[in-house]
Structure 1
Amino acid sequence: MSVTSGTLTGPVPDLPEAHGLPRLNYNLWDYKMKLFIVTGLLVIESSLLPIALFYGLWFSTTLRHGIIFAIITSFFGLVTGIEFALRCWKLILPRDEYRPIGGARWRFDFTHMTLSCGYTIMTGILIGASIPHEPLVRPLAIPVPLFFIQLGLQLIATGVMSARAVPAPCRISSVPKGARTPPLVYTLVEDIVAVDGAAGLSYRKALLARYEASPAFRKMIAQQNWFWGVGALVDGVGTMVVIWTVPQEVAYGVGWGSPFVFTIIWTVTTVLWVRRSLREEKRLWRASHDQSAPKI
């Protein structure tokens, strides 16, 4: 099998379309039912349910506030916990079907470690702020905005490192230590589609081949990285400011509702943006290869 040189991990195996634009061979809509169910449950767990339970129980019952937050906290992490367990199982299977390219069995992937850090902090805050006899409402409103700040900083940091060709300080999923740091959006797409989307190792290789071969694709990834990084950081910081300046009953709704609204707006914009970018990528690819083709 022939290889092409790469900028992230070195030599990359060619895909069957050796003389064309490498294909990703993954259609998100083939998994639309699972996507709809999982996304819906995550939205309920991370936004709608906490808000509904808080305002419903806070203003319409005489339950002690500690009991109210005990009920709310008990539901947190049910869906994400199941998805997390499934990710763990797939990544530690003896076969390397879902693991990063060249990844070891017990190292997981970069997305898994990022989410583990954020999830642990969020859970700690929810438990700690619920313990006092009178729960700390404002801290109980900050877990998701705080995670947005973490993710935004990571996206921006990797964006800067990628733009400056800074070597990766550690293995970042399929990218080994010392190779050029990829934008975090690239890593998130690779890991989530490969593991949670069940596309597996073949998708990791296909995505890497596409990234290495297409300048337009790399540009799109970089743009999305800045779009989500700056957006998440601004939303997270802005939400935190509001939480600590408005009445606590309002702050709780803002803390759990603002990230949800942000995610909807950014996701819809991303879908439209990526579709347009992929069409432009194909146009530029055809134009470039038509011009470089030998004249007969």
Structure 2
Amino acid sequence: MAEVLDISARAPRDGGGEPDQVSGGNSHQLQVGSTSESQTRPAEPSRLDPEQRQVSHAPSMGALSNARTLDPEKSASALPRLKKKETKLAQKEAHPWQHLGITLGLPMILIFDLVIPCIIYYTWYNSHKSNWQRQCHEEYPGQHPCPISRPEFDENILGSAIASFGVGELWILLARMYRLFFHRDDCAPLLSRNRWELDATSWVYAVALIVSLIPFVVASNLAIPKLYLYSPAFLMTFLGCLMVITTLYPFKIPIGINSQARGTRLRPFIYYAAEDFIAVDGLQDREFRVRYNDRYETNKAFRRLFVCLTLWWMLGICVYIGCLSAVIWTLPLHIAFGLSLGILFSWIAVWAATTFVWVKIEIEREHKAYEAGTVEE
């Protein structure tokens, strides 16, 4: 208000003369108030004429035009990428005594698939070998080789020895079925709708055990004892065929498999096996299945890992069958029997140990990728 009054006091009259001289203290007060307030107020921005306004706006309009014509890919690459968070897959601290049946699975396999078959067969073989040596000494003294055939197999004994081979696998199958049936809410697949669906590994396991009986039946009918030794190879061959199908021809599945909905692409065989064994046998339950499935869908390196692992086990099955055939058809039965079992467990140990180290290295590499924010989907 003081400024307005001061301006009106100093403004020229209509006649264009000098401003009126305001006398007295009032003029002094008005001028002081005007001066103090003018010092505190910021200066008004200068006004531009239309030509200057148009020129000043030209650069900003050009920049906007350039921004609209940017390459979408280049602009997207220039944006900062969100860093994906790594989630630990197996988070539960499972105690071996939580499910004793599954914990005893490995000892049962070693006992019934390796120890008992060797005890049955070689006990029979050594006893009959002594009788054969005595008979050769009595009937053909000093004659070498003995014309009497060396007893190498008995149909019942050899069949019993090979039959015990499946007891360990049957134990694990029943233990898994028990946990899936009575603890369905804890460890069943995510898409499971009732107790009898079990999981993919249980069904594959059951069919594989049936397939392994084929050489047992054929050898009994045709009296070809060496075919008995192919029972583990038939089981592995069946699994190998599934690996070939899931890896080389990943078609869209017509039914849901484990936690994977129907209509999606078939995943590598080792993916399903690992999910079921860790969730059920490893006591990691359904929470693991959720994290496991999410990691597979959002991590390219994780998907590539299972393709490579499936190919690795396919190669292993070929190596095992080749070595087994060489042993069976080039060595006497009493040597081939024990050596064939030794080849089986040695091969499994080498391939499993290699897989463990491989997975550990790959998980560490993925951890570094998560830390660096370079994970590919």
- Normalising by structure 2, report the TM-score: 0.62
What is the correspondence of 1:218-257 to structure 2 with a 5 Å cutoff?
Answer: 218-257=303-342
Matched with 1:143 is: 231
Q: Is contact 1:154–1:229 with CA below 8 Å preserved after alignment?
A: no
| 1:190-236 residue CA offsets vs partner (Å, 9 max, x unmatched) | 11121222222211112111212222222222211111122113312
Matched with 1:115 is: 205
Matched with 2:113 is: 46
Secondary structure (helix, strand or coil) at the match of 1:21 reads coil
Aligned residues: percent identity? 22
Deviation at 1:124, TM superposition (A): 5.1
| 1:104-148 residue CA offsets vs partner (Å, 9 max, x unmatched) | 32222211111111111224543664578xx64212101111111
CA 1:126–1:26: 2 relative to 1, 3 Å: farther
Q: How many residues align?
A: 268
**Which residue identity does 1:20 align to in structure 2?**
K
Please tell me whether Structure 1 or Structure 2 has the larger radius of gyration of its CA atoms.
Answer: 2
**Which residue identity does 2:349 align to in structure 1?**
I
**Which residue identity does 1:107 align to in structure 2?**
E
2: CA distance, partners of 1:153 / 1:184:
10
2: CA distance, partners of 1:180 / 1:173:
13
2: CA distance, partners of 1:117 / 1:219:
28
1: CA distance, partners of 2:104 / 2:268:
29
Matched with 1:55 is: 122
Taking only aligned residues, the RMSD between alpha carbons, in angstroms, comes to: 3.1
2: CA distance, partners of 1:243 / 1:32:
40
Q: Is contact 2:190–2:286 with CA below 8 Å preserved after alignment?
A: yes
2: CA distance, partners of 1:280 / 1:108:
34
Matched with 2:48 is: none
Matched with 1:173 is: 258
Matched with 1:7 is: none
What is the correspondence of 1:13-24 to structure 2 with a 5 Å cutoff?
Answer: 19-24=84-89
**Unaligned ranges ≥5, structure 1:** 1-17, 291-296
2: CA distance, partners of 1:29 / 1:258:
32
Which deviates further from its counterpart, 82-91 or 65-74? 65-74
Q: Of the candidates 286, 297, 301, which is equivalent to residue 216 of structure 1?
A: 301
**Unaligned ranges ≥5, structure 2:** 1-82, 132-150
Matched with 1:87 is: 176
**Which residue identity does 1:211 align to in structure 2?**
Y
Q: Is contact 1:153–1:233 with CA below 8 Å preserved after alignment?
A: no
Q: Which has the higher contact order (CA 8 A, sep 6+)?
A: 1
**Which residue identity does 1:270 align to in structure 2?**
T
Which deviates further from its counterpart, 270-279 or 236-245? 236-245
Secondary structure (helix, strand or coil) at the match of 2:249 reads helix
Q: Is contact 1:54–1:72 with CA below 8 Å preserved after alignment?
A: yes
Q: Verify: 1:72 aligned to 2:161, yes or no.
A: yes
Q: Is contact 2:309–2:355 with CA below 8 Å preserved after alignment?
A: yes
- Normalising by structure 1, report the TM-score: 0.78
Q: Is contact 2:254–2:262 with CA below 8 Å preserved after alignment?
A: yes
